[in-house]
Structure 1
Amino acid sequence: MQTPKKIAIVGSGLVGTLLGIYLKRRGHTVHIYDRSPDIRKINFTGRSINLVLSNRGVKALRDVGLDHEVLSIGIPVEKRAIHTGLNTVNEQFYGKDGEVIYSLSRGLLNKKMVDLAEREGVEFFFEEKVWDVDLATATISIGESERGEWTTHNYDLTFGSDGAFSRIRHRMQRQSMFNYSQEFLEVGYKELHIPANSDGSHKLNKNALHIWPRGNFMLMALANLDGSFTCTLFMPHDGENSFESLQTKEDLVAFFATHFPDTKEVIPNLVEDFFKNPTSYLVTMKCFPWTYSDKVALIGDAAHAIVPFYGHGMNAGFEDISVLEEMMEKYGDDWANLLNDYENSRKPNADAIAELSYRNFMEMSAKTADANFLLQKKIEKWFSDKHPNLWVPLYSRVTFSHQPYAEALAEGDRQNEIMQEVLKIENIHQDWENETVENKILELLKLQ
């Protein structure tokens, strides 16, 4: 066990609450602050993308015995359902038999995590705005406004788990040699809703991630326990086929009739949802260092916010906690070296999943309807089934393994180079399940 410390966590989101559970299990006093009201007491709708939980996140939950409780509020998802046109759907299974990811309502999961953390003895302080932290002492400052009167609270260690626009990171940015960048996508998103059937059943296959890929925009849907689906429309903010171009009911209805005709019967409140719900932004944020001495540390989105197209924002944040736990086991009370190794271990992998997430938007919005891409995925699965020790697809490396993200990215790039050569084989679209293709891949693997 470590010597007990008094620890503050700023941010009561998914990563902050799970981190609180881990620290409490190690005997520390843990206080979690959040400027928002208790999520369990508010109606959480309108600007959310359903979460996807995969192996990395499940491991972090399993290590503290919470995996079964969390998975009980999720829906297993085994494949993509690609809606390429009216009543035309192509299916792509994510992995081998039994390999699934889980669709989870963000609001429902966050409420569950707060309950679980409180059960452990973590104390929450909602509607408390943390404006600053003293890096040398871990003291936090709280007040009603940024320029108003503040009160201070002393801690031995403070974690910033307060999201992409973290106040704790904002304070760290004011020191020398702190590198920071943020990049907004030209694409934003808006939440829509597919209600349940009258008998409570789902209108679409609940065990699939539904995607309507249309080039530089797309619609996506993931199932909820109550029979509904949370839909997310991703589009450019301005220009042709953009949020800016859809200003009237008539424009919106005509746009969906043209590009998503098979959604007419399943999204009955399209107009109401579209004009009621906000258009949200997507940002990638990178920074370093993530820690200051043994006093302050960033974790989750506060350290590495990513776009949601690989479904790994939460999983990467939960894996931060797994790595931090390994360092606590290794270093004990040596928090300076503990936090130093934590940030140096995670930084390359955080950058890698940011790159993978950005690339996956292109895959989901355009390539999933591309004949070459679909063939490539079929060949990869066929070859992987024949030679499982020689070829593990990139998605499986990222989602169904614990291989470091940076290694998975490098191996994925290598595999893609091989497949581009394979796709040049004459008549490959007509005949690919043969020894010529198999031997070509084996030959290219030996050369790399």
Structure 2
Amino acid sequence: MRDAMLHGGVPRFNFSQQFLEHGYKELHIPPGFDGDFLMEKNALHIWARRAFMMIALPNFDGSFTCTLFLAHTGENSFEQLTDEKSLLEFFQTNFADAIPLMPTLAEDFFTNPIGNLGTIKCFPWNVGGKSLLLGDSAHAVVPFYGQGMNASFEDCRILNALIEQRGTDWEKVFDEYGALRKENTDAIAQMAEENFYEMRDAVADPIFVRKRELETKLEHAFPDYFSKYSMVTFREDLPYKVAKQKGNAQDKLLMEICAGIDNISEIDLNEVMEKVKTV
């Protein structure tokens, strides 16, 4: 449907498909001999190396699914890892602590495909009242905010609400739906890509680490405080665009505060919270 809209079905149909220079490959950390997790299970594990990274997420069976994010070409890229020797040398240099946990590293690496990471944007999403794009067909995003599927569910929720309010005047419903959703799906697309660079680069920055610690303390101390991630993930009442605006303002403030200290214990949480309320 989108392809038909692009190639003459809809006048002035805007379409873009943009890939990151990085791709990804899934790897595996099995459970221990007793079935236990070999790392902390209640965590997202990130090996941040600035130009690339690996992450690991726990599974119910005690294993972890690891994802290696590398550039497709150039230095420290998939094209350089052509055999087991080059792979093990790369891991020994960059992820040495993970090697003992990954007995099938080489097999997984050379068996599993390299995936692409891309964002799709287009508009308008409808052909009058006859057809409508939903979900990834309208707004595919990279996976770094974990919101791709949820954004599609939101499409359905908002479309259903508009149908209940407007009835079956489909062109009116579809036009209003597109106007409501486009700015918000653009917002989550940008946040998802920004979070890739944050995970890859910023988590190794001491100021950023202090900022994350401060956010955690604020969320524990003040039930009405939400980090940008929490606003996006847990605040159904906040559209993505609003969460992005509020979250960016909070992030800027907290980074400025944490840049001027060496330890979170130096901070008065009540004073910080009062400042947060002003942004």
Fold-level similarity (TM above 0.5): yes
* Equivalent position of 1:419 in the other structure: 254
Q: Which structure 1 residue ranges, 4+ long, deviate > 6 Å from structure 2?
A: none
Q: Secondary structure at the match of 2:79?
A: coil
Contact 2:27 2:109 in 1 (8 A): yes
User: Which one of the candidate residues 187, 203, 207 is aligned to 1:368?
Assistant: 203
Structure 2 residue corresponding to 1:214, chosen from 12, 36, 49: 49
2:230 corresponding residue in structure 1: 396
Deviation of 1:322 (Å): 1.2
In structure 1, the partner of 2:191 is 356
Match of 1:279 among 114, 117, 141: 114
Which whole-Å CA distance do the structure 1 matches of 2:264 and 2:138 have between them? Answer: 47
Aligned residues, how many? 276
1:273/1:319 Cα in 2 relative to 1: closer, same or farther (>3 Å)? same
Asked if the contact 1:379–1:432 (Cα under 8 Å) also holds between the matched residues in 2, the reply is no
Letter in 2 for 1:439: E
Query: Counterpart amino acid of 2:271?
Result: N
Q: Return the letter of the residue paired with 2:4.
A: R
In structure 2, the partner of 1:377 is: 212
Residue 353 of structure 1 deviates from its aligned partner by 0.4
Superposition TM-score, scaled by structure 2 size: 0.91
**Which of residues 429, 438, 447 is equivalent to 2:262?**
429
Query: Is this contact kept in 2: 1:218–1:233, CA < 8 A?
Result: yes
Gap change, CA 1:359 and 1:336, over 3 Å in 2 = same
Cα distance in 2 for partners of 1:264, 1:254 equals 11
Partner residue, 1:82: none
2:15 aligns to what?
A: 180
Distance 1:380 1:203, change over 3 A: closer
Can you give the 5+ residue segments of structure 1 that lack an aligned partner in the other structure?
1-167
Letter in 1 for 2:274: L
Cα distance change of structure 1 residues 309 and 260 upon mapping to structure 2, 3 Å threshold: same
In 2, Cα distance between equivalents of 1:268 and 1:383: 40
Q: 1:442 aligns with which of 249, 274, 278?
A: 274
- Given residue 372 of structure 1, which amino acid in structure 2 is its aligned partner? I
Q: What is the aligned-residue identity percentage?
A: 45
Would the aligned equivalents of 1:290 and 1:297 in 2 still touch at CA under 8 Å?
yes
Q: What amino acid is aligned across from residue 255 of structure 2 in structure 1?
A: Q
1:375 aligns to what SS in structure 2?
Answer: helix
State the shift of 1:200 in Å: 4.1
* Superposed CA offset, 1:154-173 (max 9, x none): xxxxxxxxxxxxxx111111
Question: What displacement does 1:443 show?
Answer: 4.5
Deviation of 1:410 (Å): 0.4
Shift of residue 279 of structure 1?
Answer: 1.2
1:264 is displaced (CA, Å) by: 1.6
1:298 paired to 2:133: yes
Q: Deviations over 1:414-441 (max 9, x none)?
A: 112212331343xx11364444x75366
Secondary structure at 1:173's aligned position in 2? helix
CA distance in 2, matches of 1:383, 1:202: 30
Instruction: Give the structure with the larger helix fraction.
Output: 2
**Structure 1 or 2: more strand by fraction:** 1
**Compared with structure 1, are the counterparts of its residues 434 and 184 closer, same or farther at alpha carbon in structure 2 (3 Å cutoff)?**
closer
Partner of 1:288: 123
Q: Is the Cα–Cα contact under 8 Å of residues 46 and 53 in structure 2 kept in the other structure?
A: yes
Structure 1 range deviating more: 316-325 or 379-388: 379-388
1:336 maps to 2:150? no
**Whole-angstrom CA distance in 2 between matches of 1:251 and 1:388:** 49
- Whole-Å separation in 1 of the counterparts to 2:256 and 2:110: 47
Q: How many Å apart are 1:375 and its aligned residue? A: 0.4
Match of 2:98 in 1: 263
Counterparts of 1:121-132 in structure 2, within 5 Å, are none
Q: In 2, Cα distance between the equivalents of 1:195 and 1:424?
A: 39
Structure 1 distance, partners of 2:259, 2:114, is 42
CA shift, 1:217, in A, is 0.9
* Aligned CA-pair RMSD: 2.0
